């Protein structure tokens, strides 16, 4: 009679439960929604900026062509156009720290 190894099933279940699904929007430069400080923001990944921007997280420049996140607040008090006009460009690391 073959021996059954019960540990292999428990190891596999631990591995599968630790896997985090990949957010395809983040990986390929799409758009996604994040909630920070109780507000929803639409975030898009940008690689080709048209001008110099100042990151609100660190107040340093984002150079032309440097990766950044364009962030628009959803449900802006003054409406959608105001939210678009007040969009900000963030360094990805600064946006991750913003909470």
pLDDT one-digit tens code per residue, 22-79: 655 555 558 899 999 999 999 999 887 678 899 999 999 999 889 999 999 998 888 7
Q: What is the pLDDT of residue 71?
A: 93
pLDDT one-digit tens code per residue, 69-92: 999 999 888 878 888 888 899 999
Q: Which helix (H) or strand (E) holds 17?
A: helix 7-18
- Beta strands, E only, 29-95: 31-36, 39-46, 53-54, 61-62, 68-73, 88-90
Please, what's the largest Cα pairwise distance for the chain?
A: 74
The structural domains of the chain, ordered by start, are 23-97 (3.30.1740)
Q: What is the pLDDT of residue 35?
A: 94
Q: Please, where are the H alpha helices in 19-67? A: 24-27
- Beta strands, E only, 48-87: 53-54, 61-62, 68-73
């Amino acid at each position: 009679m073959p021996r059954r190894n019960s540990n292999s099933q428990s190891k596999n279940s631990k591995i599968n439960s630790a896997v985090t699904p990949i957010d395809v929007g983040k990986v390929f430069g799409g758009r996604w929604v994040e909630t920070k400080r109780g507000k929803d923001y639409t975030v898009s990944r940008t690689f080709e900026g048209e001008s110099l921007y100042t990151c609100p997280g660190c107040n340093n420049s984002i150079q032309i062509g440097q990766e950044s996140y364009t962030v628009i607040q959803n449900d802006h008090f003054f409406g959608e156009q105001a939210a678009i006009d007040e969009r900000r460009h963030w360094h990805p690391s600064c946006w991750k720290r913003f909470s």
